[in-house]
Amino acid sequence: MPIKLSDIAAEFGGRVVGDDGVEISGVAKIEEAQEGEITFLANPKYTKFLNETKASAVIVPLDVTEAGDTPLIQAENPYFAFLKTVVLFHPPQPLIAKGIHPTAVIGEETEIGQDVSAGPYVVIGRRCRVGSGTVLMPGVVVGDDVRIGSDCVLHARVSIREKVILGNRVVIHDGTVVGSDGFGFAPEGGKYHKIPQVGTVVIEDDVEIGASTTIDRATLGETRIKRGAKLDNLIQVAHNCSIGEDTVIAAQAGLSGSTHIGSHVKIGGQVGFAGHLSVGDGAMVGAQSGIHKSVPSGQMVFGYPAKPHSEEFRIQAALRRLPQLLKEVKDLKQRIQGMEEALRK
Amino acid sequence: MPIKLSDIAAEFGGRVVGDDGVEISGVAKIEEAQEGEITFLANPKYTKFLNETKASAVIVPLDVTEAGDTPLIQAENPYFAFLKTVVLFHPPQPLIAKGIHPTAVIGEETEIGQDVSAGPYVVIGRRCRVGSGTVLMPGVVVGDDVRIGSDCVLHARVSIREKVILGNRVVIHDGTVVGSDGFGFAPEGGKYHKIPQVGTVVIEDDVEIGASTTIDRATLGETRIKRGAKLDNLIQVAHNCSIGEDTVIAAQAGLSGSTHIGSHVKIGGQVGFAGHLSVGDGAMVGAQSGIHKSVPSGQMVFGYPAKPHSEEFRIQAALRRLPQLLKEVKDLKQRIQGMEEALRK
Amino acid sequence: MPIKLSDIAAEFGGRVVGDDGVEISGVAKIEEAQEGEITFLANPKYTKFLNETKASAVIVPLDVTEAGDTPLIQAENPYFAFLKTVVLFHPPQPLIAKGIHPTAVIGEETEIGQDVSAGPYVVIGRRCRVGSGTVLMPGVVVGDDVRIGSDCVLHARVSIREKVILGNRVVIHDGTVVGSDGFGFAPEGGKYHKIPQVGTVVIEDDVEIGASTTIDRATLGETRIKRGAKLDNLIQVAHNCSIGEDTVIAAQAGLSGSTHIGSHVKIGGQVGFAGHLSVGDGAMVGAQSGIHKSVPSGQMVFGYPAKPHSEEFRIQAALRRLPQLLKEVKDLKQRIQGMEEALRK
């Protein structure tokens, strides 16, 4: 059903420039949008598309005031405005039929809240609690003594191991494992002996975790992912780590044991952290970096091993001149030798 | 059942050198082959084994004309000839009993083609289509509105999320997730807000994907893996990426959002790509490289950050001489100082 | 139930310093321990906590002789003593109810040993053998012709593909895949053709494998993980690799095809190995290293590409001085030019 441009703008308090009665029937990326669709401009890389787009309207930052004849909606935060617009055209759909599928196996003394949906072949252990409105997709396996809050979504085949605690509105994508044993073995007599991993994992409210990520339980105590943190796919979080509030971690990054990440930290893909480190609030870690020592609050680091951004940048620039430098020094050496001989005469 | 050497050669149009009546009962690697077995030589690293092998015959490149008394089959493409030989001795076996297991749960309005096999505890959503001859191994979970072509194999516990489209002859290994949400969150008011991921994933014909790989759905539009591409295990493909025809990607590589890989590209293991890049047709990316900018067609790059092959090679060689260079420059400085003093007198 | 300090010390032959009658009710990390709890000091990083801990006793190395009034237990191997103490307070609990759940699907001609536990929705193929005391958690999928030893634990949703062999006391965490096809395709006519992967995987006794790890079957022959090896989460082991006895590999490391790792090797997180390499016994590989050539026994290597530890260390130190070196050489060049001009006069 088409929505008027003025109604879209009202969703996020945007200001229409041009005809606010245009009817919009969908949302698309700027380079793919067709007539009747709305698009947005948040990444400056895409500005070149602004005058070429076939879209019938564009959400833009406040400093963009015209784009030919195309009506605009100016927004303080165009990316967030885009989010609101997507929701308008794609209201959330239930992923699965309501209720508990008859094949779901639920252990003794487990309490299931109101309006919980559990798909086929879900397995929930003994003495668990599942909060109201939570959705467990097919094949989810929950161990004994687990607590899951309200309005969570556990996608297909997620594993929640024994004693783990999840807050409210936690979303976990397919195949992710929460609470697998930490990697702890004591060497003795030339062999490794397993250290029982008797701690747990706590995932606080509003955390989202991608697919096929692994979060190990603590040896003792807990591994903790704090409120609002967002983790991508294929990430490793080792035993006894903590990840701060509103921190984002891109795919395939890995944390070794007992490393603590502050709040509002941004971590790129494939970054690796050694163990027993701390990363301060608001730090930023470039993709693929290797972090071997603690990072102060607010610092930007990258590289392998990681260094402060400006230092690593200078080193990388210098590196490109290194082969030439070797030649130059060889040449200087000969000139010095020549002069030394001249002076000796 | 033994097969005559002449019959093996006929499979791929090879030319026998020596006794073509030798009976062969199996195929093995050159360093492990026993009497009665055939082996092959494709990797030059293994040439040393040619005269030592106990094999009763060896498939070799055209330029190898003898190996003592051992009969040979010369082939233009020994690796492909080896493939044909393996198939001869190991004709494909069905992975699972034919038909739909009674425990498979199939949603309303879903159409299942002829000769489809579905193992125990397979779950297929509503309004799906599954093409003829496709095999779904135990524990596979397919969301609503999914289309799967003919003669596909989805190994155990694969997740195909809602609305995803798979072509024909697509093979996906255990635990892989296709169509998980892209990692998209808009910051506003100090928190991250989820951007609904309403796009999808399209996997074209003849694509093979390894185990525990994750392929995210697009935010809008589609993530696309094109015909004949081959992806290994534990790979991350983010939202809105595309991967070209006949491109191969080794294990644990990762693509950030909206990165586009051309056709016939070769990507090594653990490579990381930043977002919004393009990689031209026929490019080659060395293992563990970090790709921060687009790569032209046909270019070989490696390094972190990646550079053209020859430049990175020179830098790596120069690096090994860097500690010595520091000493030399220190020495030159003293000699210069000495001369300057001498000249001043 | 509290345990006397003397009884704890007796578990591992430790020597009590101070009051050996203190009653201990639990075990905790040194920085978190409360009154009534015992803790341990193994990592020298935590020595600072020794005098601050609220613990009622501390397990320490032999060279620590006092910590204020806190009773100590001196142990030759404090980490191993800690392990024994954790077991004392946390005796192993069964993960799941005994017996075979009625929903487990077991194929024809499969033999199940005594005291095997299989959770809901476990699927075991045809002609398998499962040894006594082994536990299969919910959703485990085992292919045809698999042999599993005694006292193994396969956590939820593990895939064991056809023909794989597991020894005794093997532990595999959630979602891990053993026996997926090796990544082998022969190019011919501009396309890739799949090489049937007809080999298998053998996992020997006392191996532990983390969550979401992938171990590919051999093309021909076998991929082998030897006795006592310990693999963490999200690791890739390609076709035809072998990993030696008592070798430990941290999370997200990856081995390319036909690479052979010796025994007692230590491999850090996110390390990548090229194919067809060998790594000698007792070698150590630093986190995130890229291994492009074989590593001799006992050698410590790190870096990308990896070099012997001392060489890489010197290069890394020199690198930090490189930007300054460029300036110095520029300065020297000018001084040389000045002198050359002076001499020319």
CB neighbours of residue C198 within 10 Å: 21
Q: What is the pLDDT of residue A74?
A: 96
Given a cut of 50, the residues of chain A with pLDDT beneath it are: none
Q: What are the angstrom distances between the C-alpha of B190 and each of A204, A221, B36?
A: 17, 29, 70
- Report DSSP state, residue C240: T
What are the φ and ψ backbone dihedral angles of C171, each rounded to 5 degrees? -115, 130
Tell me the Ramachandran region of residue A279: left when phi exceeds 0, alpha when psi lies from -120 to 50, beta otherwise: beta
| Average predicted confidence (pLDDT) for chain A | 96
pLDDT at B312 over 90: yes
Which of A122, A121, A187, A182 has its CA nearest to residue A148?
A122
Q: Name the neighbours of B, counting chains with at least 3 Cβ pairs within 8 A.
A: A, C
Q: Tell me whether residues A319 and B321 touch, CB distance under 8 A.
A: no
What are the φ and ψ backbone dihedral angles of A335, each rounded to 5 degrees? -65, -40
* Averaged pLDDT, C127-139: 98
Q: What is the pLDDT of residue A67?
A: 81
Q: What is the pLDDT of residue C49?
A: 87
Q: How many alpha carbons lie under 13 Å from residue C88 in its C-beta half-sphere?
A: 24
Rounded Cα distance, A129 and A147, in Å? 5
The CATH number of domain C105-310, selected from 3.90.550.10, 2.60.40.10, 3.30.465.10, 2.160.10.10? 2.160.10.10
Report the residue from A79, A208, A333 with minimal CB separation from B194: A208
Q: What's the CATH number for A3-89?
A: 3.40.1390.10
Rounded Cα distance, B114 and C52, in Å? 72
Q: What is the pLDDT of residue B205?
A: 98
In this chain, the answer to whether the domains covering B3-89 and B105-310 adopt an identical fold is no
Residue B100's pLDDT band (boundaries 50, 70, 90)?
Answer: very high
Q: What is the pLDDT of residue A31?
A: 87
Q: Tell me whether residues C196 and B83 touch, CB distance under 8 A.
A: yes
Q: Tell me whether residues B326 and C325 touch, CB distance under 8 A.
A: yes
- DSSP H helices in B67-154: 78-89
C91 → chain A, closest CA residue: A196
**pLDDT tens-digit map of B235-280:** 999 999 999 999 999 999 999 999 999 999 999 999 999 999 999 9
Residue C345's pLDDT band (boundaries 50, 70, 90)?
Answer: confident
The DSSP result for A92-153, as a single string, is ---SS-SSB-TT-EE-TT-EE-TT-EE-TT-EE-TT-EE-TT-EE-TT-EE-TT-EE-SS-E
Q: Tell me whether residues A340 and B339 touch, CB distance under 8 A.
A: yes
Of B90-94, B206-210, B261-265, the range with the lowest mean pLDDT is: B90-94
**pLDDT tens-digit map of A10-56:** 999 999 999 999 999 999 999 899 999 999 998 777 888 888 899 99
Per-domain residue ranges for chain B? Answer: 3-89, 105-310, 313-344
Instruction: Give B90's contacts in chain C (Cβ within 8 Å).
Output: 196, 198
Choose, from C155, C173, C239, C260, the residue flagged as catalytic: C239
Q: What is the pLDDT of residue C18?
A: 95
ipTM value for the complex: 0.96
B12 → chain C, closest CA residue: C188
